Amino acid sequence: MAPQRHQPQSSQALPRLPYSLSAPGLTQVPGGFVPAPRNTKTFDRNELVLALNHLSSLIAPTFQGQKVTLFAHGGAVMVLHLGLGARQTTRDVNVCLREFNKEWSFKGVENAENKLRWCIYQTARQRRLGADWMNSGSDAAIPWVIKYVIVFLFAVVTETDLGFEPSAELRPGSLLLPAG
């Protein structure tokens, strides 16, 4: 039987490959693990924390110590939040890149999305994950977020909710979840 090839179901659900590494200071490490387009590894809470901490260790120098805020939603939030207990595992982390791009565009930072995608991809390589372990595939399904609606729809995750103290790069307020 011939080996199965990874077939993306939607180009929007996957990070763009190959990654544009034109941003200053970003280089691809030659050789090593090459992530499949789709992540098949299931994250429990501990694995998810390890992946997010690795991602944050790359984000800090890549964004020169500036605070990076990602709006996370879906299964990863349910796995991380101690009070919800709705899920024990997830396959990916859904983030809203529209808001990320708006924020960094407003700050005048070029290539912010490429820099973030580089960090996501390098985390996939290091942690042996699929390239879409963190993705914005659901951006199309989520209504456009308006500044005043965010306060209504999202509540900040605190250290108490997570049950661990985030690293300096993964600060409280970096992850947001639907208010219940």
CA-CA distance, 81 to 150, in Å (whole number)? 19
| pLDDT tens per residue across span 90-121 | 999 999 888 888 899 999 988 899 999 999 99
- pLDDT tens, residue by residue, 116-161: 999 999 999 999 999 999 998 887 766 655 444 443 334 444 444 4
Q: What angle do CA 110, 112, 116 make, to 5 degrees?
A: 160
Query: What percentage of the chain carries pLDDT values higher than 70?
Result: 61
Neighbours of 63 (CB within 10 A): 17
Q: Residue ranges of the alpha helices (H) in the chain?
A: 45-62, 75-80, 97-106, 112-127, 147-153, 159-162
How much is the pLDDT for 31? Answer: 61
- Lowest mean pLDDT: which of 29-33, 49-53, 67-71, 111-115? 29-33
- Looking at the whole model, is its pTM more than 0.75? no
Contacts of 147 (CB under 8 A, 6+ apart): none
Amino acid letter, 63:
F
pLDDT at site 120: 95
Hey, how many other C-beta atoms are within 10 angstroms of the C-beta on 59?
Answer: 24
Helices 112-127 and 97-106: crossing angle in degrees, nearest 10, is 130
Q: Are 154 and 78 in contact (CB under 8 A)?
A: no
